[in-house]
Amino acid sequence: MSTTTAPEREAAAPPPAGLRPDWRALTTHPTAGPLAALVVACLFFTLQNDQFLSGGNLSLVVQQVMVVGTLALGQTLIILTAGIDLSCGAVMAFGTIVMAKLAADGTLPPYAAIAAGIGVCALFGLANGALVTYIKLPPFIVTLGMLNIAFALTHIYSAEQTITDLPGPLTALGQTFPLGRTDITYGSVLTIVLFLVLAYALSQTAWGKHTYALGNSPDVARLTGIRTTRLRLGIYTLAGLIYGIAALLLVSRTGVGDPKAGQTDNLDAITAVVIGGTSLFGGRGVVIGTLVGALLVGVFRNGLQLMGVGSIYQTLITGGLVILAVTVDQFSRRKASR
């Protein structure tokens, strides 16, 4: 590492502080590893099965990844603040039931039902955030409790019934449009747009800088004048809102409100975030990494399926990927804080 000798050299003859971007940072960029893994995985599965690269199959991968990817986007925000959200899948499931039931019953017009479902998810996020910021409870415990509450409410409110015959607006995002030889769902486009918006907000705005600073150290953030309470509360609420959008995507993809859907999606979302290179210790990571992480998990599952590998082995491999990703994070952190 050249950084070990750099201070001596600079002390002797301080050069003017450079304005050029540090290109070597690219190789240490947190998304570099997962992106390389994604490319290698795609190459590998293409060689194994010529179906893999077909437009239809790739479209399927994206559709499968869409819901978990969107959940993982909200999860990334919370993990960036050194928190964790175990409730994301259950909150999303409750959101799907709220919007599906209100719309199917005709209690609310379809668009109002969608707004109500998303709003309920945002309220769950707000509640998580309030408990973490004001009562200073650990996010793990708060969201574990909220996971159970949302899970129970989902089953109570739906009376264990799958809700069918949903009006058009609820499934509109599941419709496709052709792009070349591939059919793309509107929902996939929405997911990509959400990722781009948040990637922009995190990298180009003061809010993004403050979010990273909060994740690095809440005390440093507070002493530099950042209103940390409001910031954290906003991040949890925004994450909830994003889970609400994931709920709409789930409804549009399946066409029904299923109280059993999304049960393990919280862990899949955390998996995508971690594989995407975001540190569980907070303050490090990018949302595009999460998108790559979600795609990587999706590609593995799809590719292994095409190869005829059983789903339980897919889970086994995903587990290995998570541990590998966290190990890489640990090593890079140790190197950084050396």
Partner 1 sequence: MTPTPVLKARGLVKRYGHVTALDGADFDLMPGEVLAVIGDNGAGKSSLIKALTGALQPDEGTIELDGQPVRFRGPLDARRLGIETVYQDLAVAASLDIASNMFLGREVRRPGVLGSVFRMLDKKRMREESAANMADLKIGLRSLTQAVETLSGGQRQGVAVARAVAWARHVVVMDEPTAALGVKESGQVLDMIKRVRDRGLPVVLISHNMPHVFELADRIHVQRLGRRVAQIRPQDHTMAEVVAIMTGALTVDETGDTVIADSQAAKAAGVQAH
* Member of 144, 207, 309, 326 binding partner 1 (CB under 8 A): 207
- Of 21-29, 101-109, 126-134, 308-316, the window that binds partner 1 (rule: CB under 8 A) is 21-29
The two three-digit tokens of residue 93, written as one number: 């499931």
The candidate with the shortest Cα–Cα distance to 271, out of 249, 297, 305, is 297
Q: Choose, by CB under 8 A, the member of 7, 168, 180, 308 that binds partner 1.
A: 7
- Annotate each residue in 253-292 with x if it binds partner 1 (CB under 8 A) or - if it does not, as one string: ------------------------------xx--------
The DSSP bridge partners found for residue 184 are: 177
Kindly state whether residue 29 participates in binding partner 1, applying the rule CB under 8 A.
no
Residues composing the chain:
338
By CB under 8 A, tell whether 5 contacts partner 1: no
Residue of 26, 39, 179, 336 that binds partner 1 (CB under 8 A): 336
Phi, psi of 176, rounded to the nearest 5 degrees: -120, 160
Binding flags for partner 1, 214-233, as an x/- string (CB under 8 A): -xxx-xxx-xxxx-------
**Which residue in the set 101, 210, 253, 301 belongs to the binding site for partner 1 (CB under 8 A)?**
210
| Termini Cα distance of the chain | 11
Q: Note whether 27 binds partner 1 by CB under 8 A.
A: no
At its nearest, how many Å lie between partner 1 and the CB of residue 99? 30
Of these, 21, 168, 180, 308, which contacts partner 1 (CB under 8 A)?
Answer: 21
Query: Which helix (DSSP H) or strand (DSSP E) does residue 251 occupy?
Result: helix 228-254
Q: In the structure encoding, which two tokens stand for residue 203, read together? A: 């990298």
Is 178 among the residues that bind partner 1 (CB under 8 A)?
A: no
What DSSP line would sit under 24-45, residue for residue? Answer: GGGTT-TTHHHHHHHHHHHHHH
Residues in Cβ contact with 79 at an 8 Å cutoff, skipping those fewer than 6 apart = 85, 270, 273, 278, 279, 280, 282, 285
50 binds partner 1 (CB under 8 A): no
Contact 205, 51 (CB under 8 A): no
Which residue ranges make up the site for partner 1 (CB under 8 A)?
Answer: 3, 6-7, 10-11, 13-22, 25, 200-201, 204-207, 209-210, 212-213, 215-217, 219-221, 223-226, 283-284, 336-337
